[in-house]
Amino acid sequence: MHICTVTPISMTVGANRIVPAIAIPHPLGNPALKKDEEKALRRKIVMKALEALTTEVDGQTIFED
C-alpha cells in the first residue's frame, strides 16, 4: 500500500490502497511535536496502513482518518 502526502498523485499512478501522510518533508512525522507525540502520530499512520492492508478493496481506496 502507499503512504503518500499528495494523494491525487498516488491515485494517478494507480495505487489501490492509499493512506494520506502529514507533509512532503516529513510524511510520517511532525517536527513541531515533542518526540513522543511525534512517534505516536507516526504509529497512528502506520496502523492505518496496516488497516488498509487487511481490508478488502475492489478499486482504488484512500483510507482517511
Site residues for other proteins per CB under 8 A: 1-5, 9-10, 12-17, 21, 24-29, 31, 38-39, 42-43, 45-46, 49-50, 53-61
Cell digits for 19? 493512506
DSSP 5-48: SSHHHHHHHT-SEEEE-S-TT-TT--TTS-HHHHHHHHHHHHHH
The minimum distance between CB 65 and other proteins, in angstroms, equals: 17
The minimum distance between CB 37 and other proteins, in angstroms, equals: 13
The minimum distance between CB 16 and other proteins, in angstroms, equals: 4
